[in-house]
């Protein structure tokens, strides 16, 4: 379907939704359970973790962060608990149309376009959220004129959002929910006792990226990935650069600034923007092992660098370390490498365990 926004009209968010606040629940007060806990984050559909407390908000609603990752909007299909940095949008007029997942996903995409107006210092608080205007497609008569609602339910001008168009557009994207043949019950036990520290530069050949400024790239004949420091949508395709050679496929990138610690594996050759390190494979590691290590790198950055404003540039080739499982002999003693390839103590990472663990997780068969 063609997406033409020229005839879209403004609608006040508070006229379409009842907007309700989340509720603070500290990590110390949380118990383990099955209730989705929605935080002010920009991934995992907003789910920070699962808790034992009963839900405080209904499903078939939209969660919208007004603090933290401001402007992140997600459709919530089931009941949940939302933190106090999140507001929840309840559709007002189910008697006029049936609110559903497709309509919600369409509106979520519109809401995210408002993110640029807000930041950590300018929160999208409840009152301003209610007064926010978003543009939506409107219903038309057969002669092409807009349908006018005499009750002015959604708009002072009487315009009616075209719910059917929104639903049909999302369905036209031909996107099916991701399925997996790997169940949660198959997950390998993750016991971190006995793991050892390994310096990043002993695991990979670590070096600075190309440092290419985005303004000098072109995309007339896009051939290579161009990787940036963002935490999501961190790449696009650009033309071949005469003055630079791309990095080989299978290498990993590590953001040294911006979304500090964002770490990704790339299956095609690529260039990088500024302040990005490249980790090139030393040991012909599988993508599963790299995903395991990339997760630990992100976590290490979050704990030791992001929280304290430390620079990563001076550490990734020197003393940046991650804890990894190690190989053991049949008697349970650690395998010791006399060449000390990966560790000054001779420990060897347990590559097979890392691969088996990732493969045991749901959706690993989609990698």
Q: What is the pLDDT of residues 141-163, one digit of tens each?
A: 999 999 999 999 999 999 999 99
- Residue 156 to residues 10, 131, 146, 151: CA-CA distances in angstroms? 10, 13, 14, 9
Question: Which overall architecture, per CATH, does domain 9-172 show?
Answer: Alpha-Beta Complex (3.90)
- Residue 217 to residues 135, 186, 222, 226, 277: CA-CA distances in angstroms? 33, 45, 10, 9, 19
Q: What is the pLDDT of residues 266-280, one digit of tens each?
A: 999 999 999 999 999
Q: Topology of domain 184-366, per CATH? A: Adenine-n6-DNA-methyltransferase TaqI; Chain A, domain 2 (3.90.220)
30-39, 44-53, 72-81, 254-263: least confident range: 254-263
At residue 168 the predicted structure's pLDDT band, cuts being 50, 70 and 90, is very high
Higher per-residue pLDDT: 179 or 224? 224
Q: What is the pLDDT of residues 299-323, one digit of tens each?
A: 888 777 765 556 788 899 999 999 9
Q: Over pLDDT 70: what percentage of the chain?
A: 96
Helix axes 101-112 and 163-172, enclosed angle (nearest 10): 90
At residue 183 the predicted structure's pLDDT band, cuts being 50, 70 and 90, is confident
Same fold: 9-172 with 184-366: yes
Q: List all residues 6 or more positions away from 340 whose beta carbon is below 8 Å from its beta carbon.
A: 346
Contact 34, 144 (CB under 8 A): no
Per-residue pLDDT averaged across 116-140, rounded? 84
- How many of the other CB atoms lie within 10 Å of CB of 164? 13
Per-residue pLDDT averaged across 201-229, rounded? 91
pLDDT of 302 reads 79
d(CA 64, CA 38): 10
d(CA 336, CA 106): 56
d(CA 348, CA 324): 9
User: Which is it for strands 81-82 and 32-38: parallel, antiparallel or unpaired?
Assistant: parallel
pLDDT of 271 reads 96
pLDDT of 97 reads 77
Annotated domain spans of the chain: 9-172, 184-366
The whole-model pTM stands at: 0.62
At residue 219 the predicted structure's pLDDT band, cuts being 50, 70 and 90, is confident
pLDDT at 131 over 90: yes
pLDDT of 107 reads 97
Mean pLDDT of the chain: 91
Per-residue pLDDT averaged across 43-67, rounded? 94
pLDDT of 310 reads 66
pLDDT of 292 reads 97
Per-residue pLDDT averaged across 187-208, rounded? 93
């Amino acid at each position: 379907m063609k997406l033409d926004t020229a005839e879209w009209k403004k609608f006040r968010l508070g006229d379409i939704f009842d907007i309700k606040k989340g509720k603070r629940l500290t990590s110390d007060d949380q118990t383990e359970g099955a209730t989705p806990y929605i935080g002010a984050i920009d991934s995992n559909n907003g789910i920070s973790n699962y808790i034992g407390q009963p839900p405080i908000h209904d499903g078939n609603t939209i969660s919208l962060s007004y603090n933290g990752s401001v402007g992140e909007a997600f459709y919530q299909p089931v009941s949940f608990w939302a933190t106090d940095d999140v507001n929840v949008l309840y559709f007002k007029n189910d008697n006029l149309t049936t609110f559903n997942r497709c309509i919600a996903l369409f509106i979520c995409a519109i809401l995210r376009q408002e993110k640029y107006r807000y930041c950590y210092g300018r929160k999208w608080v409840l009152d301003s959220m209610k007064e926010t205007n978003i543009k939506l497609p409107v219903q038309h008569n057969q002669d092409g004129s807009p349908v006018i609602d005499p009750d002015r339910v959604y708009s002072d001008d009487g315009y009616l959002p075209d719910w059917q168009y929104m639903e049909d557009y999302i369905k036209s994207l031909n996107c099916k929910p991701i399925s997996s043949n790997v169940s949660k019950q198959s997950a390998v036990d993750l016991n971190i006792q006995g793991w050892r520290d390994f310096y990043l530069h002993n695991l990979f050949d670590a070096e600075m990226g190309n440092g290419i400024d985005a303004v000098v790239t072109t995309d007339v004949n896009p051939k290579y990935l161009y990787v940036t420091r963002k935490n999501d949508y961190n790449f696009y395709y650009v033309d071949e650069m005469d003055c630079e050679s791309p990095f080989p496929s299978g290498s990993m990138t590590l953001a040294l600034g911006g979304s500090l610690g964002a770490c990704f594996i790339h299956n095609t050759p690529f260039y990088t923007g500024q302040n990005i390190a490249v980790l090139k494979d030393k040991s012909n590691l599988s993508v599963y092992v790299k995903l395991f290590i990339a997760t630990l790198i992100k976590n290490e950055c979050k704990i030791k660098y992001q929280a304290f404003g430390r620079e990563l540039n001076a550490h990734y080739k020197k003393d940046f370390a991650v804890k990894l499982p190690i190989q053991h002999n049949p008697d349970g003693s650690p395998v010791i490498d006399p060449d000390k390839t990966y560790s000054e103590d001779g420990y060897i990472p347990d590559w097979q365990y890392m691969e088996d663990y990732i493969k045991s997780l749901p959706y690993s068969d989609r990698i």
